[in-house]
A and B are shown apart, each in its own frame.
Chain A
Amino acid sequence: MFEIGAAEDGSVWLAGRLDAAQAAQAQAFLDALAEPPRELDLARLEYVSSAGLGVLLKSQKRALGAGGGLTLRRPSRHLRDILRYSGFDRIFAIRDD
């Protein structure tokens, strides 16, 4: 199961499993936002595959194109490994708080 939503502070939260079957839903939600978010809260995101990483990358490109940049917040240990192995720790700011 995968869920995505916007928080009152303008950040976007993701929860559950972002796999190839759910990536289009996540991308559509993020693309529909009037402005790209500044933060993605990953605290409740259990799993991400390369399809999900593609969603994060596209969102980062959009944010950078708008003069900003995405921060990934509170990834699990497993997600941190995925982000590091994919080099995403070099192109995203990552925070644990």
Chain B
Amino acid sequence: MQASFARRVEALAQVFEFTEAFCTRHDAITHDCALALDFAIEELFTNLVKYQAGEAPVEIELRLELAAPGSTDSTTGVMHLTMIGAENGPFDPRRAPDAAIDRPAAERQAGGLGLHLVRRLVAGLDYDHDPHTGTGCTRVRIALPPAPRGQD
């Protein structure tokens, strides 16, 4: 599934309708995996809205890759999220610093938590920036858990 979304926070409702439509089409996607997908999409999308100027829409593609029947993989499959958007300059989400989570509340800042958490909720995160088009492409992989016993 693929769609483009206006580059504004208010478009999140449409983004989540899109992810819900995708997840409900696939029984293998558990509720927790769907929430992890929403989290990754929201953090990456709002980063584009907040930190990258311009009004060009953001392209989002979702794809499900199921493990082959009889596979010995530890997962039942992988969700692939690709997000493409114009950028002022490269911003690699893999290189954003972790949040300082061991500080007391008075010293904590909310900023920086988003990508910190995305990196812990997903199985893989990749990024490319095309300097010719000024476009960034972030790819996320979310592993689906093993099927319950008796269903594999």
Report A's interface with B, CB cutoff 8 A.
Answer: 17, 19-21, 46-47, 49-51, 53-54, 57-58, 60-61, 64, 77-78, 81-82, 85-87, 90-91
A54 contact set on B, CB distance < 8 A:
110-111, 113
Give 26 CB contacts A-B under 8 Å: A20-B12, A20-B46, A21-B12, A21-B13, A47-B39, A49-B42, A49-B43, A49-B46, A50-B43, A50-B114, A51-B42, A53-B113, A54-B113, A57-B105, A57-B109, A57-B110, A60-B105, A61-B105, A85-B101, A86-B113, A86-B116, A86-B117, A87-B108, A90-B101, A90-B102, A91-B105
A60 contact set on B, CB distance < 8 A:
105
A58 touches B117 (CB 8 A): no
A61 touches B117 (CB 8 A): no
What's the least CB distance linking A42 to chain B, in Å? 14
Query: Is residue B27 within 8 Å, beta carbon to beta carbon, of the partner chain?
Result: no
B35 touches A57 (CB 8 A): no
What's the least CB distance linking A35 to chain B, in Å? 18
- State the main secondary structure of chain B at its contact with A: helix
Count of chain B residues with a beta carbon within 8 Å of a chain A beta carbon: 31
Q: What is the CA–CA distance of A66 and B106 in the complex, to the nearest angstrom?
A: 13
Query: Is residue B62 within 8 Å, beta carbon to beta carbon, of the partner chain?
Result: no
Query: Is residue B73 within 8 Å, beta carbon to beta carbon, of the partner chain?
Result: no
B114 touches A49 (CB 8 A): yes
Q: What is the CA–CA distance of A17 and B41 in the complex, to the nearest angstrom?
A: 14
What's the least CB distance linking B152 to chain A, in Å? 22
What's the least CB distance linking B87 to chain A, in Å? 19
A87 touches B102 (CB 8 A): yes
B42 touches A20 (CB 8 A): yes
A50 touching B113 in the complex, CB below 8 Å, given contacts A21-B9, A77-B32, A86-B99: yes
B42 touches A19 (CB 8 A): yes
A-contacting residues, B98-134, CB 8 Å:
99, 101-106, 108-111, 113-114, 116-117, 120-121
Q: What is the CA–CA distance of A20 and B42 in the complex, to the nearest angstrom?
A: 8
B35 contact set on A, CB distance < 8 A:
46-47, 78
Query: Is residue B16 within 8 Å, beta carbon to beta carbon, of the partner chain?
Result: yes
A-contacting residues, B26-73, CB 8 Å:
31-32, 35-36, 38-39, 42-43, 46
Q: What is the CA–CA distance of A53 and B39 in the complex, to the nearest angstrom?
A: 12
